[in-house]
C-alpha cells in the first residue's frame, strides 16, 4: 500500500478538518467552494450539490451550476422534542427547499441551502441543540438504534448506547465550532483537548464507518448492512449484553466485481459495560488495517473480507485485553416498520403510552395539494406532549401519546389529509433514495420514480390477491445502495435514465442479500418480468413464505450465501 488515495492527502493537510472552508464561505463570486474543501465539508455534515434538473440548461447558457448544500444532522437514536421539531421545520422553510427529508439512517437532511446561508443554517441547527458533526465523512457516522426507544426498557438501552457511542467517537478537533459557531459552545460537543484526535489520529478513518443497534425481533436498522452492529440480548426485559457484528455494507460499482455488498459477520458477545470499548477497538483496527490506497475498497467490509473474521476478532480482543463471548441466540422477523398505532410493552396497561408510526413516502416531509404532512406535524408539535422519532425506514413515529391525546392527533392528521394506513403491503415496505435532482452520483431517478412504479405493481398484486402482503421493495438511483436495495426482496438499482437493474431474493428479515435478475430494464419491462413471478408466488408459496424466500426456493434466482457470493451464479432473465 505505498500510494495513498487523494482524500488521505487532503485530510493530512487539512489541519484537523479546517482546510480552507472558512475562507471559501466568504468568496461571493461563486456559489461553490473549493474541491478539496468539499471533501472536508462532509466531516462537518454537509455536501456541495447542484440542481441537476437545470444543469444542462445552465451549461448551455454558460452559467455556473446551480450550487447549493445538503446538510445532514447527527441524531443518534433519532429522537427530537416538539420544540426541536418546530425549529427544524422553521429552518426547512427559511433556509432550505421547504422540505425535511427523513433518511434511511434515521436522521434529517436539508436540501437546497445556498452558500451564503450555510453558516446561518448550521447555527440555527445548533440552536435547536442538534449538531451535524461527523454526520458524513471518514468517521463513525450517526448511530442508529431500534426505531422505538420508548417501546420498552431494552429499546431505551439501545438508544442510550447509540448516543453514548456516537459521542464517544466524535472528532475532537475544534474545527466545527470554530468555522460554524465562532467557537461558541451551544451544546456539549466541543472537545476538552481540541487539537488531538486520540481515537482517529490525524487521518481519521480510511472511509465512512456506520454503527447500528437492533432490538430483536425487529431488524428495522438492517443490522447486516453496516460496519458495526449491536444486537440486544434481552433477559427479563433488560439488555444483558450485545452480539456484535462487523463488516456489512451495501455500496458497489457497476461492472467492478471487486466491489460488492456484503452482510456483516457475527464477531461475538460482549457485556453492556464492554460495548463501547469493543466498538472503539473495531474502529481502531479498521483505522490501522483499512485500505488507504484504494478508496473503493476502503470500507471495513473489505478489511473483514480480506483478513477473515477470526483474525479480525483476535485483533479486537488483543486491543480490548479480553475475549468476546460466544454469540447468544436471537432471531429477527422483519426489517420494516409496523405502520400504525402501537403501545409500549412495559408497565401497567393503563399507563402505557401510544406511538403512531406514520408512513412517510420516501421520507419527504412536505405539503402537497392533497396532503399537508408538514403542516400537520407542525401543528402536532405546537400542541406538544409528544416526541418524534425518525426511523431507519424513512418513517416517523409520533411517540409517547396519551390515550386522551390519541383521537386529537388522529383528527389533526385527518384534517390535513394525512392517511395513516398505506395503500398496500408493498408500499408499506417501500424505500427509495434521494437521487435526482440533488444527488451528484445519481444515474437515474429514484425518489421521484418509485411511488408510481409501486402503484403499477399494486394492480398486479391486486389481481394475484396479494395487496395486503408485506413485500420489501427498494430503489436507488445508482449502485451505492443508499436505500439498501440489495437487502430488499425486490430491488432496483439505477443504470441510466429510465433503466434499472432488477434484484430479487433477499430475505425478509434482512439476513440474506439478493441477486441480479435482469439488467437495464425500463418500467414496462419491469412490470412484464415481475407479473408472472408475483402470480406464481400467489399460487405456489407455502404458508407464511415470504416473496424473497420463494424466488430462491423456486429457483428464479440463486441464493447469495453467507460467503457473500453476490456476483456468482447469476443467470440473467431475457428481456
Q: Which residues are known catalytic residues?
A: 72, 141, 208, 210, 433, 439, 478, 482
The DSSP secondary-structure symbol of 354 reads E
**Under rule CB under 6 A, how many of the chain's residues touch ligand SF4?**
13
Cβ neighbours for 379, distance < 8 A, ≥ 6 positions apart: 412, 416
Measured between alpha carbons, how far is 346 from 292 in angstroms, rounded to an integer? Answer: 47
Work out how close the CB of 502 gets to ligand SF4 at its nearest, in angstroms, rounded to a whole number. Answer: 16
Please state, in angstroms and as integers, the Cα–Cα distance from residue 28 to each residue in 21, 23, 114, 487, following that order. 13, 11, 11, 44
Q: Is 62 left (phi over 0), alpha (psi -120 to 50) or beta?
A: left
Kindly give the residue spans of alpha helices, DSSP state H, lying in 290-405: 300-307, 309-320, 373-383
| Choices 152-160, 431-439, 466-474, 550-558 (CB under 6 A): range interacting with ligand SRM | 431-439
Q: Which of 5, 36, 47, 430 binds ligand SRM (CB under 6 A)?
A: 47
Measured between alpha carbons, how far is 575 from 402 in angstroms, rounded to an integer? Answer: 54
Q: Does 383 bind ligand SF4 (CB under 6 A)?
A: no
Work out how close the CB of 346 gets to ligand SRM at its nearest, in angstroms, rounded to a whole number. Answer: 28
Q: Which of 113, 430, 433, 473 binds ligand SF4 (CB under 6 A)?
A: 433
477 binds, among ligand SF4, ligand SRM, none (CB under 5 to 8 A by kind): ligand SF4
Q: Does 135 bind ligand SF4 (CB under 6 A)?
A: no
Q: Does 161 bind ligand SF4 (CB under 6 A)?
A: no
| Choices 104-112, 312-320, 415-423, 530-538 (CB under 6 A): range interacting with ligand SRM | 104-112
Q: Which is nearer to ligand SF4, 429 or 438 (CB)?
A: 438
DSSP string of 426-458, one letter each residue: HHHTEEE---TTT-TT-SS--TTTHHHHHHHHH
- Residue 341 half-sphere exposure, CB side, CA atoms within 13 Å? 13
Q: Which is nearer to ligand SF4, 113 or 478 (CB)?
A: 478
Q: Does 480 bind ligand SF4 (CB under 6 A)?
A: yes
Q: Does 251 bind ligand SRM (CB under 6 A)?
A: yes
Contact 335, 510 (CB under 8 A): yes
Measured between alpha carbons, how far is 354 from 156 in angstroms, rounded to an integer? Answer: 15
Q: Does 434 bind ligand SF4 (CB under 6 A)?
A: yes
Q: Does 444 bind ligand SRM (CB under 6 A)?
A: no
Q: Which of 68, 99, 109, 391 binds ligand SRM (CB under 6 A)?
A: 109
DSSP string of 121-168, one letter each residue: HHHHHHHTT-B-TTSSSSSB---EE-S-TTS-HHHHHHHHHHHHHHHH
Cβ neighbours for 530, distance < 8 A, ≥ 6 positions apart: 457, 460, 490, 502
Q: For cell 444483558, what's the residue?
A: 240
Q: Does 103 bind ligand SRM (CB under 6 A)?
A: yes
A 10 A CB-CB count for 345 gives: 14
Q: Which of 134, 433, 518, 521 binds ligand SRM (CB under 6 A)?
A: 433
Which residues inside 290-329 make contact with ligand SRM, applying CB under 6 A? 299
Q: Does 439 bind ligand SF4 (CB under 6 A)?
A: yes
Residue least distant from ligand SRM (Cβ): 251
Instruction: Give phi and psi for 352, each to the nearest 5.
Output: -70, 130
Q: For cell 478538518, what's the residue?
A: 17
| Choices 128-136, 278-286, 364-372, 475-483 (CB under 6 A): range interacting with ligand SF4 | 475-483
Binding site for ligand SF4 (CB under 6 A): 433-435, 439, 441-442, 446, 476-478, 480-482
Binding site for ligand SRM (CB under 6 A): 47, 49, 70, 72, 103-105, 107, 109, 141-142, 208, 210, 225, 249-251, 299, 363, 394, 433-434, 438-441, 480-484
Amino acid at each position: 500500500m505505498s500510494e495513498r488515495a487523494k482524500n488521505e492527502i487532503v485530510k493530512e493537510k487539512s489541519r484537523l478538518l479546517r482546510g480552507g472552508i472558512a475562507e471559501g464561505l466568504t468568496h461571493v463570486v461563486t456559489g461553490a467552494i473549493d474541491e478539496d474543501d468539499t471533501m472536508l465539508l462532509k466531516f462537518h455534515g454537509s455536501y456541495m450539490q447542484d440542481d441537476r434538473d437545470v444543469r444542462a440548461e445552465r451549461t448551455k447558457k454558460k452559467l455556473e451550476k446551480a450550487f447549493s448544500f445538503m446538510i445532514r444532522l447527527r441524531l443518534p437514536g433519532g429522537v427530537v422534542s416538539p420544540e426541536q421539531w418546530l425549529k427544524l421545520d422553521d429552518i426547512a422553510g427559511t433556509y432550505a427547499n421547504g422540505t425535511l427529508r427523513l433518511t434511511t439512517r434515521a436522521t434529517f437532511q436539508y436540501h437546497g441551502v445556498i452558500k451564503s446561508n450555510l453558516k446561518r443554517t448550521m447555527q440555527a441547527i445548533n440552536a435547536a441543540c442538534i449538531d451535524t458533526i461527523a454526520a458524513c465523512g471518514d468517521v463513525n457516522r450517526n448511530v442508529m438504534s431500534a426505531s422505538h426507544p420508548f417501546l420498552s426498557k431494552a429499546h431505551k438501552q439501545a438508544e442510550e448506547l447509540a448516543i453514548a457511542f456516537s459521542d464517544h467517537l466524535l472528532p475532537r478537533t475544534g474545527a466545527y465550532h470554530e468555522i460554524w459557531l465562532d467557537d461558541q459552545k451551544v451544546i456539549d460537543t466541543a472537545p476538552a483537548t481540541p487539537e488531538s484526535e486520540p481515537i482517529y489520529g490525524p487521518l481519521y478513518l480510511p472511509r465512512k464507518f456506520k454503527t447500528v443497534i437492533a432490538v430483536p425481533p425487529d431488524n428495522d436498522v438492517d443490522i447486516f448492512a453496516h460496519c458495526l452492529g449491536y444486537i440486544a440480548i434481552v433477559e427479563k426485559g433488560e439488555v444483558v449484553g450485545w452480539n456484535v457484528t462487523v463488516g456489512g455494507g451495501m455500496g458497489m460499482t457497476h461492472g467492478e466485481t471487486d466491489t460488492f455488498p456484503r452482510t456483516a459477520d457475527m464477531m461475538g458477545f460482549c457485556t453492556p459495560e464492554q460495548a463501547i470499548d469493543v466498538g472503539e477497538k473495531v474502529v481502531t483496527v479498521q483505522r490501522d488495517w483499512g485500505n488507504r490506497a484504494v478508496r473503493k475498497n476502503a470500507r471495513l467490509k473489505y478489511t473483514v473480507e480480506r483478513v477473515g473474521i477470526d483474525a479480525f476478532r483476535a485483533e479486537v480482543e488483543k486491543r480490548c485485553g479480553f475475549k468476546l463471548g460466544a454469540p447468544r441466540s436471537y432471531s429477527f422477523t422483519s426489517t420494516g416498520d409496523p405502520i400504525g398505532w402501537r403501545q409500549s410493552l412495559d408497565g401497567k396497561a393503563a399507563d402505557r403510552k401510544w406511538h403512531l408510526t406514520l408512513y412517510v413516502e420516501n421520507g419527504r416531509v412536505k405539503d402537497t395539494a392533497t396532503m399537508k404532512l408538514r403542516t400537520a406535524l407542525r401543528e402536532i408539535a405546537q400542541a406538544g406532549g409528544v416526541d418524534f422519532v425518525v426511523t431507519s425506514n424513512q418513517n416517523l413515529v409520533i411517540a409517547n401519546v396519551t390515550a386522551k391525546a390519541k383521537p386529537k392527533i388522529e383528527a389533526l392528521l385527518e384534517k390535513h389529509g394525512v392517511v395513516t394506513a398505506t395503500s398496500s403491503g408493498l408500499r408499506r415496505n417501500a424505500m427509495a433514495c434521494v437521487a435526482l435532482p440533488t444527488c451528484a452520483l445519481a444515474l437515474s431517478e429514484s425518489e421521484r420514480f418509485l411511488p408510481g412504479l409501486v402503484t403499477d405493481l399494486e394492480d398486479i398484486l391486486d389481481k394475484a390477491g396479494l395487496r395486503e402482503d408485506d413485500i420489501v421493495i427498494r430503489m436507488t438511483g445508482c449502485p451505492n445502495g443508499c436505500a439498501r436495495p440489495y437487502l430488499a426482496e425486490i430491488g432496483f438499482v439505477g443504470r441510466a435514465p429510465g433503466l434499472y437493474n432488477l434484484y430479487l431474493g433477499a430475505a425478509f428479515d434482512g439476513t440474506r442479500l439478493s441477486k441480479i435478475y435482469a439488467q437495464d430494464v425500463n418500467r414496462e419491462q419491469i412490470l412484464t418480468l415481475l407479473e408472472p413471478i408475483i402470480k406464481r408466488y400467489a399460487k405456489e408459496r407455502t404458508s407464511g413464505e415470504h416473496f424473497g424466500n420463494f424466488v430462491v426456493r423456486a429457483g428464479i434466482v440463486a441464493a447469495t450465501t453467507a460467503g457473500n457470493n453476490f456476483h456468482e451464479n447469476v443467470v440473467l432473465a431475457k428481456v
